[in-house]
Amino acid sequence: MKPNRIKSVLIVGGGTAGWMAAAALSRFLGPSLSITLVESDQIATVGVGEATIPQIKHLNAALGIEERDFVARTNGSFKLGIEFIDWHRKGAAYLHNFGSIGLNLQQVPFHHYWLRERSEGATTSLWDYCLNTAAARDMRFAPMEKVGSSPLSGIGYAYHFDATLYGRFLREYAEQRGVSRIEGLIETCRQDPQTGDVSKVCLQDGRELAADLFIDCSGFRGLLIEQALETGYEDWTHWLPCDRAIPVPSSNEAAPIRPYTQSIAHKAGWQWRIPLQHRTGNGHVFSSAHMSEAEATDTLLDNLEGKPLAEPRMIRFVTGRRKQFWNRNVVALGLASGFLEPLESTSIHLVQSGISRLIAMFPDGDIAAADRTEYNRQMVLEYERVRDFIILHYHLNERTDSDFWQDCAAMSVPDSLTAKMDLFRANGRLYHREEDLFTDSSWLQVMLGQGLMPRGYHPIADALPSDQLAGFLGDILKIVGQAAATLPPHADYLARHCPAA
Ligand code: FAD
């Protein structure tokens, strides 16, 4: 073992990010590494990360977490996608599904065949060829990897959960694997005068905690990455003007436990509805330049399906990212590393990908500048891809009822996004770029859902004789409909397999 190998890690903060880091590091590096987490009861966690994307299943599998236990312990539910209501224009809705749509033929993505059918006058929606949509419409759910003996893929899904219970669940997991937890308020930190590295954090009660590597999960304040190291922040509010969120839970007796998230566009932002077993999570994300906090609160309260279970609280944020995610011997995760609004439920995933990159590049001895640079390069790219995807939802709108939506439609967008939209607009082509978190299917659904219809399609789709095309598409509709009908109601699946503990 190299004498200067990292032997101790201090995780600063015990929100979702901190406990995810503690769980994963203890699972993969545990015995050779002393892992401590410090958090303060005096500073509450954000605690509203409640919706996820399917990649979380990889984390659960890596940690050996069993799905039904996990859903039961977090009062969770299953998520087939996100329904975007009033986003394209008022009265319109579409589902961004996690499942695949149709079936590719001769290496040509399915939607080109659909575009051909449409150009010949057919009106079937692309979404009708998706099992996730059919299940969501009828509020059905059960895991299904493949559709019977057909070549169609099954259901793609993620979870909704109670973030506080998720934190507790991970804490138990991490402590069982040797992570020590210290309760205490950090007042300041010390840096090595020679290297500038953080050497210890100092608590209000006089204790000092030293470590070789620090993981800053202290939330928006970025105790180490910003307050100590002054890393700097890249501000993206000119593309994503929302800067406030008001979360409020509500009772759920009035609404079914939908197997999907709802995102409802309002005058200057949007509202989420996240169904859990014991309540619904709601929140209104909005631009304070376009709407007052009082009006935003009223809008949210007027659009709850149940009774509010707590006072609404105001969360203020600046969309963007730290200039470096790993600076000196500090790696920032979660809100300390940057913030993108929860429109596509990506924050928890970005914590997950930061942790898995850190584990992949874990230093063998001194921290190599090359490792740090590569880590930052990958994280920047992934953040930017997610940013582009979120901007897409706002930019491609045809709402004329408020300045907010018109400003979003008129704004200039990053070149990377313009290139992607132009390519799709021309001939329906999509390409998966390095570190792109979302699949082509996700981009396809949001582009079409927001009203961007390609002018052309791949000419190979014309090679199929009309009767064969009709047969191919008709078969898929039939198989999808039959498969959906075999699924149980989502509420029954939850009650039977993962009732809230
Ligand atoms: P926090 O939860 O803020 O935790 C910070 C921790 O640091 C706390 O334990 C605190 O005690 C500790 N701390 C801070 N200062 C000190 C100090 N001086 N001394 C000691 N301890 C200290 N993500 C999703 O994936 N899906 C979603 O649906 C989603 N919805 C969201 C909705 C909103 C409105 C917001 C704001 C975020 C949402 N997120 C979502 C993001 C998600 O909530 C966060 O990424 C996640 O909770 C991680 O938070 P965190 O652990 O970084 O920070």
Q: Which residues of 271-309 are buried (b: 16+ CB within 10 A; e: fewer)?
A: bbbbbbbebbbbbbbbbbebbeeeebbebbeeebbeeee
Token match 């850190």: residue? 358
At residue 32 the predicted structure's pLDDT band, cuts being 50, 70 and 90, is confident
Predicted local distance difference test score (pLDDT) of residue 47: 83
Residue at 340: amino acid letter: L
Q: How far apart are CA 158 and CA 50, in angstroms?
A: 11
Q: Residue 106, exposed/middle/buried by CB under 10 A (0-12, 13-18, 19+)?
A: exposed
Of 448, 489, 460, 467, nearest to 87 by C-alpha is 448
Predicted local distance difference test score (pLDDT) of residue 31: 83
- Residue nearest (by alpha carbon) to ligand 1 atom 42: 49
Q: What is the mean pLDDT of residues 390-406?
A: 97
In a domain, 312, yes or no: yes
**90-117 confidence digits (pLDDT tens):** 999 999 999 999 999 989 999 999 999 9
Residues 296 and 183 in one domain: no
- Binding site membership of 386 for ligand 1 (Cβ less than 6 Å): no
In a domain, 415, yes or no: yes
Residues 433 and 292 in one domain: no
For ligand 1, the distance from its centroid to the CA atom of residue 17, given in whole angstroms, is 7
Q: How far apart are CA 340 and CA 5, in angstroms?
A: 34
Predicted local distance difference test score (pLDDT) of residue 48: 85
Predicted local distance difference test score (pLDDT) of residue 108: 95
Give the DSSP per-residue string, 4-39.
T---EEEEE--SHHHHHHHHHHHHHHGGGSEEEEEE
Tell me whether residue 268 is annotated as binding. no
- Binding site membership of 51 for ligand 1 (Cβ less than 6 Å): yes
Residues 455 and 354 in one domain: no
Tell me whether residue 18 is annotated as binding. no
For residues 375 and 215, the answer to whether their CB atoms sit within 8 Å is: no
Tell me whether residue 485 is annotated as binding. no
Residues 123 and 206 in one domain: no
CATH of the domain at 17: 3.50.50.60
For residues 56 and 74, the answer to whether their CB atoms sit within 8 Å is: no
In a domain, 87, yes or no: no
In a domain, 199, yes or no: yes
In a domain, 382, yes or no: no
Kindly give the number of the ligand 1 atom that is closest to the alpha carbon of 46: 2
In a domain, 63, yes or no: no
Residues 223 and 336 in one domain: yes
In a domain, 112, yes or no: yes
Residue at 247: amino acid letter: P
Checking if the pLDDT of 1 tops 70, the result is no
What are the Cα distances from residue 212, in Å, to 36, 40, 50, 344?
Answer: 12, 21, 32, 35
Residue at 232: amino acid letter: G
Residues 229 and 250 in one domain: no
Q: How far apart are CA 106 and CA 360, in angstroms?
A: 36
For ligand 1, the distance from its centroid to the CA atom of residue 191, given in whole angstroms, is 25
Q: What is the mean pLDDT of residues 135-154?
A: 93
Q: What is the pTM of this model?
A: 0.97
Report the complex ipTM: 0.99
Mean pLDDT of the chain: 96
Residues 229 and 254 in one domain: no
Residues 108 and 143 in one domain: yes
Token duo for residue 150: 């057909």
Cβ contacts of 334 within 8 Å, gap of 6 or more: 13, 15, 16, 17, 18, 217, 219, 347, 351
Tell me whether residue 15 is annotated as binding. yes
- Residue nearest (by alpha carbon) to ligand 1 atom 46: 16
- Binding site membership of 254 for ligand 1 (Cβ less than 6 Å): no
7 carries an active-site annotation = no
Q: How far apart are CA 98 and CA 81, in angstroms?
A: 5
In a domain, 497, yes or no: no
**Which of these three, 335, 367, 399, is where a domain ends?**
367
**Which of these three, 316, 334, 349, is where a domain ends?**
316
Containing domain of residue 269, as a range?
A: 244-316
How many domains, in total, are found in the chain? 3
Token match 């609160």: residue? 297
Residues 269 and 413 in one domain: no
Residues 304 and 212 in one domain: no
Residues 355 and 394 in one domain: no
**326-360 confidence digits (pLDDT tens):** 999 999 999 999 999 999 999 999 999 999 999 99
For ligand 1, the distance from its centroid to the CA atom of residue 48, given in whole angstroms, is 8
Residues 172 and 183 in one domain: yes
